[in-house]
Amino acid sequence: MAQHFSLADCDVVGFDLDHTLCRYNLPESARLIYDSVAQFLVKEKGYDKELLTVTPEDWDFCCKGLALDLEDGNFVKLADNGTVLRASHGTKMMPPELLAEKYGKKAWKYFMSDAGMASQSGKYYFYDSYFDLSGALLCARVVDSLTKQNNGQKTFDFWKDIVAGIQHNYKMSAFKENCGMYFPEIKRDPGRYLHRCPESVRKWLQQLKNAGKILMLITSSHSDYCRLVCKHILGNDFADLFDIVITNALKPGFFSHLPSQRPFRTLENDEEQEVLPSLDKPGWYSQGNVVHLCELLKRMTGKPEPKVVYFGDSMHSDIFPARHCSNWETVLILEELRGDSDWKPEESEPLEKKGKYEGQKSKPLNSLSKKWGSFFIDSVSGPDHTEGSLVCTWSCKRISTYSTIAIPSIEAIAELPLDYKFTRFSSNNSKTAGYYPQPPLVLSNNETLTTK
């Protein structure tokens, strides 16, 4: 494979929507997602009202890459070989002695090779995106509450209530029916939660279009919410930028399911209509599968193997399946690359409007967690529980394995020429080569990491 990657070489450029094309005001959106499910648990399922009170310090628990064991209520952070680097019971971090006793040096019981490891099962759930992270904090606090109420409860069965809360707030009809908290609040004040795309990004999308690229939007959000978001971040004429829009794509199944399992559907007034036996022309569709999409792309480009690149923020839903199932080029949007050293408030609204949202500042979700440490690396305890060698996390290993490149935001590359040559991760088997504009500091300072 070539050492470099260039957008100029691609025939098709696809995008996820949430946290990819659309960047969210994370402190606000995270709290809204948390509250939407917490309110349901308290009001509909009888959970403790303490769940509704969240302090700025509580958000430090949030760190992408954690896995929740649904039976014992433990969260774990995994090394690249599946061993447990850190763990908590609910929000309570396990000391080194307990960590060693509970997990030892063996791979976590549900760990499998990448291809076989789902993001969720009946036994565990991986927190892989900013949409998920509020749920990690909520589930951890539910475990705390149940443990306290039931004198050290050892096994848990709350996940069905979490799923019910998500379904209540985010089911397909919720936007139209103003069901739950999330959609009514986004409708009421989108500027509080969504960052408008900078002019540089709008111009870049038009530049791609003018260069003859086919532009696609593939999102698991439903059509009505997608339309609201895109109008807010790109303007009322946003649809002119995209040849193909696919909503309710139900990723990662979009990439892995057969056409018969997940056919495309037409839309009328944002509601799903007839099933399509194939995808015959560009347009706006719902559900679907990558097989029928690729057949359309071949016809549109006149090429037997059009070169596709896909931008997304979720390793589980976007990057891994697009690379593993379809062999697309993949660009991971990784806000952790923004770091916390140069963090500054986003210009989501004019300064004169910002005052109404001011309050005690929570830690940005893309900054370092004091409880969990770096998203990218961690130290392995020695025999006497002292800090030992540094290793890559499982999340970090997957980035260099399945991403072509990783960038902090689309804005970070929007002013580069389309023929700019990015260095791929795969070049020289480097763990850091594909990060643009530069690797995270923790990786730059520790290039000779131990592979366990």
Characterize 392-401 residue by residue with b for buried, 16 or more Cβ atoms within 10 angstroms of its Cβ, and e for exposed.
bbbbbbbbbb
E strands along 169-210, which residues? 194-195
**pLDDT tens column, 217-240:** 999 999 999 999 999 999 999 999
Q: Please tell me the predicted confidence (pLDDT) of residue 362.
A: 62
136: which 2 tokens?
A: 């990690």
Give me the sign of the Cα torsion angle 56, 35, 88, 68. Answer: negative
222, 250 contact by CB (below 8 A): no
At 6, the amino acid letter reads: S
Whole-angstrom CA distances from 433 to 86, 313, 352, 367, 441 are 27, 19, 41, 22, 13
Least confident of 194-203, 214-223, 380-389, 422-431: 380-389
The confidence band for 447, taking pLDDT boundaries of 50, 70 and 90, is: low
Chain centre to alpha carbon of residue 434: 19
**pLDDT tens column, 94-145:** 999 999 999 999 999 999 865 555 556 789 999 999 999 999 999 999 999 9
Q: Please tell me the predicted confidence (pLDDT) of residue 198.
A: 97
Q: Please tell me the predicted confidence (pLDDT) of residue 107.
A: 93
Whole-angstrom CA distances from 226 to 217, 241, 368 are 10, 14, 30
pTM above 0.85, yes or no: yes
3-state secondary structure of 383: coil
3-state secondary structure of 280: coil
Per-residue pLDDT at 63 exceeds 50: yes
What contacts 395, CB < 8 A, 6 or more positions away?
A: 64, 65, 78, 315, 375, 376
Q: Please tell me the predicted confidence (pLDDT) of residue 9.
A: 98
Q: What percent of the chain has pLDDT over 70?
A: 88
Mean pLDDT of 264-290: 96
Euclidean distance between CA atoms 66 and 125, whole angstroms: 8
3-state secondary structure of 350: coil
At 350, the amino acid letter reads: P
Q: Please tell me the predicted confidence (pLDDT) of residue 83.
A: 95
Q: Please tell me the predicted confidence (pLDDT) of residue 119.
A: 59
Euclidean distance between CA atoms 409 and 313, whole angstroms: 9
93: which 2 tokens?
A: 């971090």
174, 223 contact by CB (below 8 A): no
**pLDDT tens column, 283-331:** 999 999 999 999 999 999 999 999 999 999 999 999 999 999 999 999 9
**pLDDT tens column, 153-208:** 778 999 999 999 999 999 999 999 999 999 999 999 999 999 999 999 999 999 99
E strands along 282-375, which residues? 283-287, 308-312, 329-333
Whole-angstrom CA distances from 213 to 12, 96, 189, 204 are 5, 53, 34, 12
Residue 309: closest CA among 331, 289, 288:
331
Euclidean distance between CA atoms 83 and 388, whole angstroms: 14
Per-residue pLDDT at 251 exceeds 80: yes
> Got the DSSP string for 215-244?
EEEE-SS-HHHHHHHHHHHH-TTGGGG-SE
- Give the active site residues: 16, 18
**H/E element, 89:** strand 84-89
Q: Please tell me the predicted confidence (pLDDT) of residue 356.
A: 40
Give me the sign of the Cα torsion angle 99, 102, 105, 109. Answer: negative
Mean pLDDT of 30-40: 97
What contacts 402, CB < 8 A, 6 or more positions away?
A: 114, 315, 319, 320, 323, 324, 330
Q: Please tell me the predicted confidence (pLDDT) of residue 306.
A: 98
Q: Which stretches within 311-389 are classed as H helix?
A: 320-326, 351-354
Q: Please tell me the predicted confidence (pLDDT) of residue 113.
A: 66
Give me the sign of the Cα torsion angle 285, 289, 292, 298. Answer: positive
126, 119 contact by CB (below 8 A): yes
Characterize 163-200 residue by residue with b for buried, 16 or more Cβ atoms within 10 angstroms of its Cβ, and e for exposed.
eebbebbbebebbeeebbbbbebbeeebebbbbbbbee
